[in-house]
Structure 1
């Protein structure tokens, strides 16, 4: 038995901390656009959505839900607050996803796994995980199981931090903390996710055309 080649699992680890309040509606709209576009793609997909902040570092909103059944985010279901335990959210996200996958038979497992982290700031509240642990976990999952790790951030320093723990520069995107910046980032994420799901590309990666922020450190470094 082999894994299901037409099946992709997408896990979104979404920052719900207080500083996201400025782009609350833009984040809701961006996620919903991403969701609608992925629902329209051929092939099977499930979605896990986790929101995090220091009051609840790992709140699972949906776990392995068929993407067609995932409801849109609303102002009731996305309420920014508190501070940023980013490492804890990522560490728990990887372990949780690993466990969920292990409970599936080989024939029911997705051939493609994508983990997307969306944040507007740097780590400032984690208690369980350290950078070295996250780096080791991401390296293992990337090299042994070809998980695709994607990082979207409105904070330049957070982009640098993400790359030190193993997010590929090609899969990291800096966006402006504005309606336009947020919309552009989610649209680019959806487009590149679709390409990966449909095997147009073997990896999930952003192109120069996606890099609208003037300070994006990876602009001009597009990989073939």
Structure 2
């Protein structure tokens, strides 16, 4: 091999041996894990407010949006502000399960949370939208011994609730008398004939209305008195 060619090969080899090793390109920064929290509360007739919070594992504030589903249906999408979001959805009577999914972005991983809420009838008295009732009782107030007075009982609703349904219970107390009876109530006047009031004195009749489960009205109670006395000739 000619000396000139040999010298060139040696020079190139020396350059390769002393050339600096460049660092590998830095790997992409991993997205920060997050935790999503979802709570639901009934805030109006057939309305549920969903509160969402997304927290990052490193304490930073996540950005982006949260998608809320019920089953396969997307019912709402909310944009995070300082890691929080809230939205109100219309719904129906019954049990509802909502799932909030934080979709994440380049800086934050996605996460999700689920919650269940029970929505009752807008007028259900176990909730906050109950309609008060009052009992109306009519009967003779003064009768002769041995009479069997008839009571007429009706339930009046204060407000625009649907018709009252449930059960009416009557209790009679008087001289030597203890008597009870119950009647179903379907938004109509209930007539109840009392047993014979044989002894002279004051008899107390207590009427209680108990609404049907899930109905529109609350319970109520009222009393009346019947005087039994001999006729004067």
TM-score, normalised relative to structure 1: 0.28
Larger Rg: 2
Structure ranking higher in strand proportion: 2
TM-score, normalised relative to structure 2: 0.27
Structure ranking higher in helix proportion: 1
Relative contact order higher in (CA < 8 Å, ≥ 6 apart): 1
